[in-house]
Chains A and B, each alone.
Chain A
Amino acid sequence: GQNIDQPTEMTATEGAIVQINCTYQTSGFNGLFWYQQHAGEAPTFLSYNVLDGLEEKGRFSSFLSRSKGYSYLLLKELQMKDSASYLCAVLDSNYQLIWGAGTKLIIKP
C-alpha cells in the first residue's frame, strides 16, 4: 500500500528553527509537495521537490532524498503566524497525490 508518515504535532519557540519530517512509500514517484493549512482555512502550496537536494524559498526550505523516501520542511526564524498544519503529499506513478495526515505546528512566544 501507499503510505506517508509525518509527526502529528510539534512545538517550537518563536525565532527558532524547526524541521518537519516526512517519509513515504508510494507506487512510483513524480514529486513531493508541502502545503500549509491554517486552522479553518484551505491548504496553500509551499514547495515542490522532484530532484534530490534542498530547495530554499525565503524562511522555508524543503529537502528530498528519493533513495531514502524522505523529505523535510525547514522553517527558520519562526513567527507566530507559522502556527499551522503542514501537509506532505507525494505524486505517485499515476500522477495521483497521496497525502499525509499533516503535522500541527504550535509556536510559543
Chain B
Amino acid sequence: GAGVSQSPSNKVTEKGKDVELRCDPISGHTALYWYRQRLGQGLEFLIYFQGNSAPDKSGLPSDRFSAERTGESVSTLTIQRTQQEDSAVYLCASSKRGGGAVGELFFGEGSRLTVL
C-alpha cells in the first residue's frame, strides 16, 4: 500500500510474554520512528532509524525493549517479558531524508497492545 503499515493492529498478551510489532514504512522513506502513546497522553519517543542504523535509542524505556530495521524497510519492535505498564498504542512513522522534510511524518494506524 501507499501508507505506513503496522501489524498487528491489536495484540492482547499475558504478562511475561514477548511480543513483536512490525512496521512497513512508505517506500523510499529512509527515516523511521517508533513512538508509544498511552491513553489520553502525548507521544513518547522510543527510537529513530536513519536507514538501517539507529542513531537515537534514547527513548527505549528499558532493556526489555529492542528494535531493528533491515533493508531500509521493515522494522520490528520487540518487547520481552511484557508488563502491564507496557499497555499502550505503539505508533510507527516514516519520513523522507533531508532538511525539514524529515519532520513531516507519516504515521501508521498503530498497534494497540494490552498486557493482562
Please give the residue numbers on chain A whose beta carbons come within 8 Å of chain B beta carbons, in ascending order.
Answer: 30-31, 33, 35, 41-45, 48, 50, 87, 89, 91, 95-97, 99-102
Which of B33, B43, B100, B109 has a CB less than 8 Å from the CB of A87? Answer: B43
Q: How far apart are B82's CB and chain A's nearest CB, in angstroms? A: 22
B56 touches A96 (CB 8 A): yes
Q: Chain B interface secondary structure, helix, strand, loop or mixed? A: mixed
Bound together, the chains give a CA A99 to CA B46 distance in angstroms of 12
Q: How far apart are A41's CB and chain B's nearest CB, in angstroms? A: 7
A45 touches B106 (CB 8 A): yes
Bound together, the chains give a CA A99 to CA B42 distance in angstroms of 8
Number of interface residues of B (CB under 8 A): 19
Q: How far apart are B61's CB and chain A's nearest CB, in angstroms? A: 16
- B25 on interface, CB distance cutoff 8 Å: no
A-B contact pairs, 9 of them (CB 8 A): A31-B100, A41-B109, A42-B91, A42-B109, A87-B42, A95-B102, A97-B102, A97-B105, A102-B43
Interface string of B88-116 (1 = CB under 8 A from A): 00010000000110111111111000000
A45 touches B45 (CB 8 A): no
Q: How far apart are B53's CB and chain A's nearest CB, in angstroms? A: 14
A48 touches B43 (CB 8 A): no
Bound together, the chains give a CA A26 to CA B87 distance in angstroms of 30
A101 touches B102 (CB 8 A): no
Contacts of B33 in A (CB 8 A): 97
Contacts of A44 in B (CB 8 A): 107
